[in-house]
Amino acid sequence: MPDLTLIAALVGGLVILAVAGDFLVNGAVALARRIGVSPLVAGILIVGFGTSAPEMVVAVDASSQGQPGIAIGNIVGSNIANIWLVLAVPAFLVPLATRQFGLRRSYWIMLAITALWIGWTAFRPVTPAFGFILLATLIVYSVLMLVWTSHAIRKGIDVGLDDEEHSLGTVAMLVNLVIGIVGLPLGAHLIVEGGVGIARTYAVPEEIIGLTLLAIGTSLPELGAGVAAAVRRRGDVVIGNVIGSNIFNLAGSGAIIAFFGPTDLAPTFLQFDHWAMAAAAIGLGLFVLPRSRVTRLAALAMLLVYAVYIYGLVHGWDIAGEVESWIGRA
């Protein structure tokens, strides 16, 4: 039986992360509007960054404490959860449209970064050199989004600008930013301490803790933002947030982990979790590329797939081994 303080630290940290992430997103979007950045850019870049801030803070905290398995498990697990859970829950409530300006461009970039991460880590450890590549990719993506959006606005193209009637006042904006900035590192520290302690008590690998409890917990800001957007019939915002978050998770949090490297990945990533992350990324394209709606039936299927993924993770499925065996027999 783990110390109750460890359980309290883990649960409390997850709650603080979710609440602080929501405050940070609200404050950041209000700040973007105040300085004249379009809501679209704010949604893709600032909200995408804001909802990924918990993963980034956990990456710093876990890596600095010599727990890279938790950090990597958190970002890989979050990218899987973002598609099969965070996207599915709002779509189950309200079917989601996929016609947002720039959505397909962002999807291709997300797919490329996912392939880069999986391809590099299949043959090499996560090194500082890889971190610089990821960081450069993130900067290029952010600049391109600004350029594409500004060019479209100048040409009079509808880029989905929403109204500003719910913008926060100056004091509320500052309060939201302060709560987010203070709460995120506090929550991250608590969940790392609690997660590592519980993992050691039950001899659970730290990677599993990162891929499950922490991945779902740090995806709560994305889930909260997704449900709120779906209720407002802004399905394009839901999918844009998921894509932006996945890009920032790998290229931003991944770069942070790499700078603490070199780090070799645990076998579970190459044997199972990277396969699941690739499948989730490709599956999202089945909706984004043809601009098809994410229906309630599709959402239910994604939730079932996520349940199967968790089952396979807990039971140690080895997809890489099965593929190698199949190729050998062929």
| pLDDT the model gives residue 224 | 67
| DSSP conformation letters of 218-264 | HTHHHHHHHHHHHHTT-HHHHHHHHHHHHHHIIIIIHHHHHHT--BP
Structure tokens that stand for 38 in this block: 């379009």
CB atoms within 10 A of CB 78: 31
| pLDDT value for 291 | 86
Helices 274-288 and 296-314, packing angle to 10 deg: 170
Domain that holds residue 54: 4-329
Nearest Cα to 263, choosing from 136, 104, 120? Answer: 120
Report angle CA 235, 291, 95 to the nearest 5 degrees.
35
C-alpha distance from residue 175 to each of 20, 47, 182, 221 (Å): 11, 17, 11, 18
CA separation for the pair 161, 166 (Å, rounded): 14
25 compared with 160, residue with greater pLDDT: 25
Per-chain mean pLDDT for the chain? 80
Which pLDDT score, from 0 to 100, does residue 187 have?
Answer: 76
Q: 203 pLDDT band (50/70/90 cuts)? A: confident
Check: pTM over 0.85? Answer yes or no: no
Structure tokens at 92: 């189950």
CATH of residue 189:
1.20.1420.30
pLDDT of residue 161: 47
Q: Which of 24, 7, 30 is nearest to 185 (CA)?
A: 24
Q: What is the pLDDT of residue 94?
A: 84
Tell me which of 41-55, 153-167, 180-194, 268-282 is least confident.
153-167
Q: In total, how many domains does the chain have?
A: 1
Q: Which residues contact 47 (CB under 8 A, 6 or more apart)?
A: 25, 28, 29, 225, 241, 244
pLDDT of residue 128: 93
Residue 225 pLDDT > 70? no
Tokens found for residue 310: 């968790």
285-297: per-residue pLDDT in tens? Answer: 999 899 888 899 9
Helical spans, DSSP H, in 85-169: 88-93, 103-123, 128-154
Write down the pLDDT at residue 240.
75
- For residue 110, what pLDDT is reported? 93
Q: What is the largest CA-CA distance in the chain?
A: 67
Q: What is the pLDDT of residue 323?
A: 84
The answer to whether residue 252 scores a pLDDT higher than 60 is: yes
Query: Per-residue confidence at 159, pLDDT binned at 50, 70, 90?
Result: very low
What is the average per-residue pLDDT within 174-202?
A: 76
pLDDT of residue 152: 65
Q: What is the pLDDT of residue 47?
A: 62
pLDDT digits (tens, 9 = 90+) for 7-54: 888 788 877 876 776 777 677 667 766 765 555 565 566 666 666 777
For residues 121 and 118, what is the distance between their CA atoms, to the nearest angstrom?
A: 5
